[in-house]
Amino acid sequence: MALTQLAREAKHAAWLRRKRVTDLLTEVRWGTQDRMLTAWSRISPPQYSNGDYLDSFVSRTPKSLEEVPASVLPRRVFCLWTGDNGLTPNRSAALAQLRTDNPAVEVVLVTADNLVDWVVPDSPLPPAYADLSLVHRSDYLRCYLMHHHGGGYADIKRDYGDLASCFDRLDANPDKWVLGYPEVSARDVSDEAGSIYRSLQRHHRRLPANGAFIARPGTPLTAEWFAEVSRRLDRFAQRLAATPGNVLGDNNGYPVPWGALQGATFQPMCFKYADRILVDERLRPSLENYR
C-alpha cells in the first residue's frame, strides 16, 4: 500500500510539473502574440467599410458616417443584480466602495425590485428575459440601459477609484461614444463567428472590455448593438422557454452561449465604430476575490 501511494504521489507531482511548464509556455506564447498584434494595430489601425465582414452581423446595417449631436451623458453608473438572492459579502463591500469613491457619480444598483423604474414604456422587456440565466439577464440589461439611458455600467467589483475623470474625458470628446478599459489579451476577445474574430484579436487593445464602460445613449452604436442583442434573444426564445437558465447558464440544455449577448455583440460593434471609441486604464477594476 505504501509503495502504491508513493507511486500515485510521484505521478501526481510529475503531472503538476508538466502542467506548470505547459501553462508557462502558453503564457509566453500568448504574450508574444499580444505584443505582435498590438504593434501591428499601431502600424495599421482598425478600419471598417460598408461591405466588409459580410459573414458577421455588423454588416446588417451600413456604418453611420453622419455627425451625431453629442447626447447628454448622465453622471450615473449602473450596477446589476438580477436574481432574488442578496448580494454576497464581497459584492456588498465592492458596491459600498464604489459609492464611497465616487461622490460625484450616482451609483444605481438595479435589481428585480426596481428594474421597472428603468424600463422605457415603448421598449418593454421581452418575455424571454425572464428565462435567461442571471448572468445573461445582466448582459441584456447593460445593453438596454446604455442605449436607452446612457451613463456607465460597472460589474460589482473593487478598486475602480474615482470614475469622474473618465466621465470628464468622454465629455471632453463629443465625437466619441464609448469609453472603456482595454482588453488585456487577444485570447480575452469574445469568440464571435466569422472573419471579424481575427480583426478583434488583432486590435484587442483598442477594444473596451466587457466589465465596465461608459456610453452615450441613443448613438448608432448603441442602436445597432441593442438591435442585435434583441434579435439574438428572440432567436433563442423558444428554446429558452423549454430550458430556462440557472445562475450561470450552465444547466443542461440551456441554449445561450456564454458571450452571445455581451462580448460577441458589444466588441464587434466597438470595432465597427473604432473611431468613436476611447480606452482608458483608469476604468479597470480588480478581478481578485470579487464573488
Q: What is the mean pLDDT of residues 95-121?
A: 97
Higher pLDDT, residue 7 or 177 = 177
In the predicted structure, residue 220 carries a pLDDT above the cut 70: yes
pLDDT score recorded for residue 201: 93
Non-local CB neighbours of 226 within 8 Å, separated by 6+ positions: 143, 144, 147
Cα(218)–Cα(151) distance, rounded to whole angstroms?
A: 11
Specify the 3-state DSSP secondary structure of 19.
Answer: helix
Q: How confident is the model at residue 4 (pLDDT cuts 50, 70, 90)?
A: low
**pLDDT tens-digit profile of 113-123?**
999 999 999 99
- Which uninterrupted H or E stretch holds 78? strand 76-81
Q: Identify the CA nearest to 165 among candidates 283, 13, 31, 27.
A: 283
pLDDT score recorded for residue 8: 64
DSSP 185: -
pLDDT score recorded for residue 13: 61
Q: How confident is the model at residue 9 (pLDDT cuts 50, 70, 90)?
A: low
pLDDT score recorded for residue 36: 82
- Which uninterrupted H or E stretch holds 29? helix 2-43
Cell of 217: 445613449
End-to-end CA distance of the chain: 41
Beta bridge partners of 111: 81
Q: Which of 43-52, 146-155, 163-172, 242-251 bottoms out in mean pLDDT, i.e. has the lowest?
A: 43-52
Q: How confident is the model at residue 7 (pLDDT cuts 50, 70, 90)?
A: low
Give me the count of residues in the chain: 291
Q: What is the mean pLDDT of residues 149-161?
A: 95
pLDDT score recorded for residue 150: 97
In the predicted structure, residue 21 carries a pLDDT above the cut 60: no
DSSP secondary structure string for all residues of 194-263: STHHHHHHHTGGGSEEEEEEEE-TT-HHHHHHHHHHHHHHHHHHHHHHHS---SSS-STT--S-TTTTTH
Q: What percent of the chain has pLDDT over 90?
A: 74
Cα(267)–Cα(53) distance, rounded to whole angstroms?
A: 14
Cα(92)–Cα(107) distance, rounded to whole angstroms?
A: 13
Q: Which of 6-10, 152-156, 158-162, 238-242 bottoms out in mean pLDDT, i.e. has the lowest?
A: 6-10
pLDDT score recorded for residue 10: 61
pTM reported for the whole predicted model: 0.89
Cα(113)–Cα(265) distance, rounded to whole angstroms?
A: 27
pLDDT score recorded for residue 279: 97
Q: How confident is the model at residue 3 (pLDDT cuts 50, 70, 90)?
A: low
Specify the 3-state DSSP secondary structure of 77.
Answer: strand
Q: Could you give the strand order of the β-sheet that contains 208-215, starting from the edge strand earlier in sequence?
A: 106-111, 76-81, 151-154, 208-215, 178-182, 277-279
Q: What is the mean pLDDT of residues 202-212?
A: 95
Q: What is the mean pLDDT of residues 205-225?
A: 97
pLDDT score recorded for residue 62: 95
Q: What percent of the chain has pLDDT over 70?
A: 89
Measured torsion, CA atoms of residues 147, 159, 106, 122, in degrees rounded to the nearest 10: 20
Non-local CB neighbours of 269 within 8 Å, separated by 6+ positions: 58, 221, 224, 225, 228
